[in-house]
Chains A and B, each alone.
Chain A
Amino acid sequence: MINVTIDGVRVEVPKGATILEAAQEAGIRIPTLCYLKKLSPIGSCRMCVVEVEGCTKPVTACDTPAGDGMVVTTDSEELREMRRDVLRLLLVRHPLDCPVCDKGGECDLQDLVYEFGVTAESYRTERFERDVPRYVSPFIRQWPDRCVLCGRCVRACKEVKGVGCIQIVDNGFYSYIGPVPGVECISCGECLSVCPVGALTDSVHPTKARIWQADRVPTTCGYCGVGCQLELNVLNGEIIRVTTTDFDKAPNFGSLCVKGRFGWEFVNHPDRLEKPLVRKDGELKEATWDEALGLVAQRLQQIKDEHGADAIGGFTSARCTNEENYLFQKFICAR
C-alpha cells in the first residue's frame, strides 16, 4: 500500500493504483472523458489533468500511477483553463447539435462543456462531412462529426467483447471510427453503450426520447440463461430501445448481445395476441375472457370426471417467471 495526498486528503491505495483511482478512494471527482473503468486507460483526451508536486507539467490522472508520498492537486484555475481548451478543441469538430442529438441530457461532453462554461464554438473550420461510410453494425447509426475520438468504442469492442472489428481510421481532423478489414461485427452494441457522446446511436426504433421523457425500467433479459440486467426505455407505452447504464451490475456489467440489446421489437409486433381465441367450426375466433376460460374450465372438468386427473397434462415454461411456474404447478397438482 502507498500513501497519496489529494487536495489535502490523505488516502492509502494499493501499489499500481492510478491517481484517478486514488482520488476516487478519497471521494474526489476528477473530470474524465476517454476513461472508463472497465477499459484500459489510454490518457488521450487530457480532461483528467492534475498537478503533482514536483512535476513541472500537469499529468493525466487516469493513466498515471500514484506514487508513495505523492501530493496531487485536482482543481486550479490553470487546470480549468486546460480543460476548457480540451473542450474548445473538441468543439471544432463536434457540432453543438445537442437539440437534435439522441444523447442530449446524458452526454459526457455536454455535461463537461456546461460545467466548464464553454459557451461558444471558439475555433471555426469546415464541417466534417456527415455521410461517412455506414457503420459496421446495421443496428447502430454513426455520426462521425460528433465523435470525440476517445476510442472507448474501439477498446470496448476489443477488450470487453474480444472482437476488435473497429479502429480509428485516417488521422487528424478527418479521422473517424471505421472497420477493421476482415473482422466481422457481431452487433452486440458494446461500442454504443460506452460512447460518451452521440456519435453512435441506436437505429432500431425511429422514435427517440430524451432521458427525462422516457421511463427507464431495470429488468432481466428474456432470452438466454445468463440473465443480463438491462433497462427498457419506454415512451408512450412503447419500448423504444434498451440501454445498460449501470456498469457495476452483475452478471453482465453493462454488456449485452445482439438479442438483449436490439431484440425487443417482438414486444411491439402486430402479431401479438390481444384477445382470447376459441375454436368454432374448425377455426380460431376471438372470444371474451369469460367465454374462453369458461370453456377451458368446463372441458377440463369434464375430462377429469370422465378419465381422472391424470388425463390432464400441463407444460410449464422456461420462458415464464418463477411465480407463474409455481402457480401453474399448484393449479395442476391441487385442482
Chain B
Amino acid sequence: MTNSIACVDKAQGFLVIGSNTTENHPIIGDRVKRAVTQRGAKLVVIDPRRIELAEYANVFLQVKPGHNIPVILGMMHVILKEGLHAPDYIAERCEGFEEFAASLDAYSPERVQEITGVDADLIRKAARVYAGAKPASILYAMGVTQHTQGTDAVKCLANLAMLTGNVGVEGGGVNPLRGQNNVQGACDMGGLPNVVTGYQKVGDDEAMAKFDEAWGRKVPREPGLTLTEMGQAALEGKIRALYVMGENPMITDPDLHHIEKALDNLDFLVVQDIFLTETAAKADVVLPACSFAEKDGTFTNTERKVQRVRAALAPRGESKPDWQIVQELSTKMGYPMSYAHPREIFDEIASLTPSYAGIDYDRIEREGIPWPCPDKDHPGTPVLHVEKFARGKGLFHVVEYKGSAEEADDEYPLVLTTGREHPHYHSGSMTRRCGRINDCFPEGFLEMHPADAERLGLRTGDPVRVTSRRGEITTKVKVVDRPAPGTVFLSFHYSESPVNVLTNPATCPVAKIPEYKVTAVRVEKA
C-alpha cells in the first residue's frame, strides 16, 4: 500500500475494485464500512459480484471479469472532460500527462458501455463520486492483478489517483491489499526473480557488489525465473530440482494438470511444510517445518509495517523453523550459516537493505514500523510519495484495453472467476484443518445467477460439473444473485474440487501473474 491502514479513517471517498474487502481483509473492510456509515464517506465499488461492500456503495459497477481497464479509462475520460482532475498537482508533480490525456479520447462512457455493457451514466456517476471526494483512496486486490492485463490495470489505477491528486496524501493512495500474511515481506526479501532485498536490482552492480561481499560469494547478475516460468522450465528439463518452502502450487497454481506434469518431470523435489500438502505428497524429500506459532521472526503486512512474530509453542515433534532447516542444509552443502536466532538474520537484512536499515527487534517490540526506515531515528513511512514520487515525477502511463486471454463462446458460455470465502484461507491447508471452522463451512459452492440456473435447470445444492478448456471438476451449485448473469464464481479452498484444474495459465507479461479471474467454462448437472 502507498498508504497506511489508519489512512482509511482519513479518506473522504473510496474506490474499491477487485477486492472483496469484507471477506478477505475484514479489518480493513470494517473500517471502510465505518467510514461510510459513520462519517458519510463516499464509496464506489467495481466488482463482478454484488459483494457486501456493494450494499454500502454510492455507485456499484458490476463489471464482467476482465473489464476493469475500460471502465477505469471511461471514468478518467469523464474526469478530464468535466474538469474534475487536479491540474496543479499534475503540473507540479507528474509527467507524461499530454500523451496520456489524448489516449483517453477513445474511451467515452458510451464507447465503454459498448465494450463492457456497463451503463454510461453509471460510469459518469462513479467518476464524479470518486473525483469529488478529497482525499480518496483506491483499495484493490487480486481482482485487479490476476489478469493478463493486470499490470496495465494497476497502472490505470495509479493514473486515476494521480489525475485526481490523490497520491502522496494522507487518506489517499493506491492501495493493494495483500492476500497472504507475508507476501509483502517475501517480495521485500527478494522473492522476485529480478531483485534482491528491498527491491535492489539484480543488475545494479554496486548493490550486487555489496551482496558479493556480505555473502562471500559471487551473486548471480542475471534475473531468475518467476513461479510460472519455473513450471515451464521444469517441463522443458531446464530445471531439474526444485526446493519448495511453504507453498502448495498443486492447489494454488493455474492449470493444475500442467503443474503436475512439471513436478513429475523433475529429477528431485524437496518440499518443506507443516503438512503433507498435495505438493509435498509428490516430493522426494519432505522436511517438517514449524508453524507461525512456533517460531520467532517478522512479517511485513500490507501497509509495509514490519511486525514481530513470536514463538508461543515448542516445535512440534522433530520439526524445525524454516530458517533453521535452510541454515543446516546450507551448511551441509558447504556454505556454512550459524545464526543463533532470527534476530541476527534480521540485523543482517537491515545492514544490506536501505529501506529496512533503521528497523530492529527492539524498536518493533510493541508496534511495527513501516518501511522505508533508513536509520535508527527514522519513525518509518506510513505514506509513500509525500512530497515527490520515489522516481521524482509521477509518470502517467498510456494504457490500451486488450481484453482477456479467454472469452466466453458457444462451447464455454460462462465466465468463471475465483476468489476466497471469509472463513477459509488460500489452499485450505490450514483452515480446512481447523475442526470448528471446517465443521461450520465444510464445502464450497459454485455461485450462479438465478437466470443462468433456470436456463440450466439447476437449483441450490445440485451437483454440477464445471468444464474448461483444461479440465473439469465437480462441485455443488448455489443460486444467488451475487454474480451477474453469465458470470460464475468458485473459491479455491477445497482440494476436493480444485478450481485451478480449470484456470488459465496465461499470464500478465510483466508481473507474470496468471489470469485466475477469467476462465471460460461450461456448467452441467453432474
Contacts and interface: CB of A to CB of B under 8 A. Distances in A.
A181 interface: no
Contacts of A201: none
Nearest to B434: A265
A129 to B, nearest CB: 26
Interface in A33-88: none
Contact of A311 (B240, B284, B346): B240
B275 A273 contact: yes
B299 interface: yes
Interface in B298-335: 298-303, 305-314, 316-323, 325-330, 332-333, 335
Residue among A262, A275, A276 having the largest count of chain B Cβ atoms under 10 Å: A276
B57 to A, nearest CB: 13
A224 B24 contact: yes
B216 interface: yes
Contacts of A313: 224-225, 230, 233-234, 239, 241-243
Contacts of A159: 34, 38
Given A220-B308, A265-B437, A272 B275 contact: yes
A153 to B, nearest CB: 16
Give the dominant DSSP class at B's interface.
Answer: mixed
A223 interface: yes
B240 to A, nearest CB: 4
Contacts of B276: 271, 273, 277, 284
A279 B269 CA distance: 10
A329 B191 contact: yes
Contacts of B495: none
B196 interface: yes
A237 interface: yes
A139 interface: yes
A327 B345 contact: yes
B28 interface: yes
Interface in A317-335: 317-335
B288 interface: yes
Contact of B240 (A278, A307, A333): A307
Contacts of B288: 272-277
B267 A303 contact: yes
Interface in B330-348: 330, 332-333, 335, 337, 339, 342, 345-346, 348
A300 interface: yes
B480 interface: no
Interface stretch (A4-12, A116-124, A249-257): A249-257
A64 B158 CA distance: 46
A323 to B, nearest CB: 4
Interface stretch (A107-115, A171-179, A288-296): A288-296
Interface residues of B, number: 131
B525 interface: no
A330 B240 contact: no
Interface in A153-171: 159-162
Contacts of B233: 313
B189 A326 contact: yes
A213 interface: no
Nearest to B310: A219
A232 B295 CA distance: 13
Interface string A216-228: 0111111111111
Nearest to B292: A222
A218 B367 CA distance: 11
B332 A321 contact: no
A311 to B, nearest CB: 4
Interface stretch (B69-77, B177-185, B404-412, B507-515): B177-185
B297 interface: yes
B386 interface: no
B391 interface: no
B447 interface: no
A279 B302 contact: no
Interface in A226-275: 226-229, 232, 234, 237-239, 249-252, 255-259, 262-267, 269, 271-275
A86 B352 CA distance: 61
Contact of A317 (B211, B247, B267, B285): B247
Contacts of B309: 219-220, 222, 321
Contact of A315 (B180, B181, B240, B249): B249
Given A324-B326, A327-B323, A300 B312 contact: no
A16 B137 CA distance: 29
B291 to A, nearest CB: 5
Contacts of B321: 324
Given A226-B25, A226-B302, A251-B5, A326 B190 contact: yes
Interface in B265-300: 267-268, 270, 273-276, 280-281, 283-289, 291-295, 297-300
Contact of B337 (A256, A296, A327): A327
Contacts of A303: 240-241, 267-268
13 contacts: A162-B30, A250-B5, A262-B434, A264-B293, A265-B436, A271-B433, A277-B283, A277-B285, A312-B240, A313-B233, A317-B247, A319-B246, A321-B295
Given A296-B285, A317-B246, 8 more contacts: A249-B367, A259-B423, A266-B433, A269-B275, A273-B317, A296-B270, A319-B246, A322-B185
Q: Which 3 A-B pairs have the closest CB atoms?
A: A274-B317, A227-B301, A225-B178
